[in-house]
Amino acid sequence: MKLDGFGIFVKDMPVMVCFYRDVLGFEIKDDENARNVMLEKDGTLFMLYRRSDFEVMTETKYTYADGLIGHYEIALSVNNYAEVDSTFAEVTHKGAKPVMAPTTELWGQRTCYIADPEGNLIEIGSFVKD
């Protein structure tokens, strides 16, 4: 088996498509009003599934977390420490919710966290100082 991509289940498809496309620069592969929208970032497929449509398709009712969701993170890397700081400033200015400002961790990574409009955590980090 080969990892082809990953997906998240969303309440508000247009808002989430706009965030991942306009704030984080994901390339949209489908119409933003589709039941399931495929986006791509650096060769990785990222799928957004409308919760209600997925439940109908699978004939199953699911439970979902609300607020800031700590079940997983989406990790994005940038070239260096300075880019962690500038990217954090840029995406929070565009509407990403700041969760943790850029910090250099003991293991040598400069990292920060933001959240998308539905509370999913996104890490932006680099191990390169210059």
Rg, C-alpha atoms of the chain:
16
* Residue 20 Ramachandran class (φ > 0 left, ψ -120 to 50 alpha, else beta): alpha
Domains, the chain, ordered by start:
5-58 (3.10.180.10), 69-126 (3.10.180.10)
Full pLDDT tens readout for the chain, 130 residues: 988 889 999 999 999 999 999 999 999 987 777 788 999 999 999 999 999 999 999 999 999 999 999 999 999 999 999 999 999 999 999 999 999 999 999 999 999 999 999 999 999 999 999 8
Beta-carbon contacts of residue 14 (< 8 Å; ≥ 6 apart): 32, 33
Report yes or no: 114 and 96 within 8 Å, Cβ to Cβ: yes
- pTM here is 0.92
